[in-house]
Amino acid sequence: MQGRLSQKENLPLQSFPYEWEEEFSRAKELGFSKIEWLIDKEISYSNPLFSAEGRKKILEIKKNKEININTLCAHFLINGKILKNNQESDNIRSFFIETLKLAPLIGVKYLSIPLIEEMSLNKKDICLEIKYFLKEIIKEIKVEILIEADLKNFEIIDFIESIGSTKIGILYDTGNATKNNFIFSQEFPSISKMVKEIHIKDFDIKSKKSVRLGNGDTDFRDIFKTITKHQWEGPIILETPIFYDWYKEAYLNLNYIRKFLQT
């Protein structure tokens, strides 16, 4: 995930990095093959995606460093402001639509939206508003929208089928699943064909925090055994904390996951 290969200083972990160009060099050095692009703030036109010059630079760095950008995280939606009935929400909707249109120009195939916290589909009114909004825009877009939700497998299936489009898929977050007491081998089989991307996190139930991979309660052996069994292939993105040393955490987390990828 973009922003995980830089120190954050006083910035939130989920924030666009000032040193975004450097992160491509760092990703290549460590052995990553992809970076997930991040839009962390609404109406954030300073993000390089929103200028022709910025997109040109993104494409050049992608090519030179051999790092793909297949996915984009629309994290700015998490606060739910897009659903308010006011001028600000109208502006955010316009910004989101523009994001959807520009994302393919840098190679994005999947755009994920976090339907958790203030945007949780467990809230009936939110669920209805999101459903109508997606139905409204889905025919006009070229990317596939991936839903990150805190629902059980049968609930997310029902929600996606109610929209009636093949352009809606699932982003599965392993840490959030642990937080919600979901067991991967029980949840994944029925949605495996809908899951287009997996975010790797390790959640520690006692401390209620994301931790370094292997130090929490997320069962990665179960996860990768199930993935292999169902012959699932798709982007696997580390969305792990960086604590006080991004390099140390990225190195250790990547090598931890490699153990499972190589077996």
Average pLDDT for the chain: 95
Per-residue pLDDT for 61 more than 80?
yes
Token pair belonging to 221:
């052996």
Which segments of 64-131 are extended strands (E)? Answer: 71-73, 110-115
- pLDDT confidence of residue 42: 83
Q: In sequence order, what DSSP letters do the residues of 102-142 get, joined into one string?
A: HGGGGT--EEEEEESGGG-TTSHHHHHHHHHHHHHHGGG-S
Instruction: Give the length of the chain.
Output: 263
- pLDDT confidence of residue 263: 66
> What does the alpha-carbon distance between residue 66 and residue 32 come to, in Å, rounded to a whole number?
10
Which DSSP symbol is given to 210? E
Please give the average per-residue pLDDT across 115-138, as a whole number: 93
pLDDT confidence band for 85 (50 / 70 / 90)? confident
- pLDDT confidence of residue 8: 86
Per-residue pLDDT for 171 more than 80?
yes
Helix, coil or strand: residue 197: strand
Q: Angle between the 153-163 and 124-137 helix axes, to the nearest 10 degrees?
A: 40
- pLDDT confidence of residue 261: 86
Domain parsing of the chain, residue ranges: 20-261
pTM of the model: 0.95
CATH of 20-261, one of 3.40.190.10, 3.10.450.100, 3.20.20.150, 3.40.50.261: 3.20.20.150
> What does the alpha-carbon distance between residue 99 and residue 110 come to, in Å, rounded to a whole number?
12
pLDDT in tens, 190-242: 999 999 999 999 999 999 999 999 999 999 999 999 999 999 999 999 999 99
The residues, any chain, with a CB within 8 Å of residue 159's CB and separated by 6 or more, are 121, 127, 131, 147, 149, 151
Q: In sequence order, what DSSP letters do the residues of 32-79 get, joined into one string?
A: --B--EE--STT-TTSGGGSHHHHHHHHHHHHHHT-B--EEE-GGGTT
CB 204 within 8 A of CB 215: yes
Strand pairing class (209-211; 202-204): antiparallel
CB 199 within 8 A of CB 237: yes
Q: What are phi and psi of 139, to 5 degrees?
A: -70, -20
pLDDT in tens, 205-218: 999 999 999 999 99
pLDDT > 70: what percent of the chain?
A: 100
The separation between the first and the last C-alpha atoms of the chain, rounded to the nearest angstrom, is 24
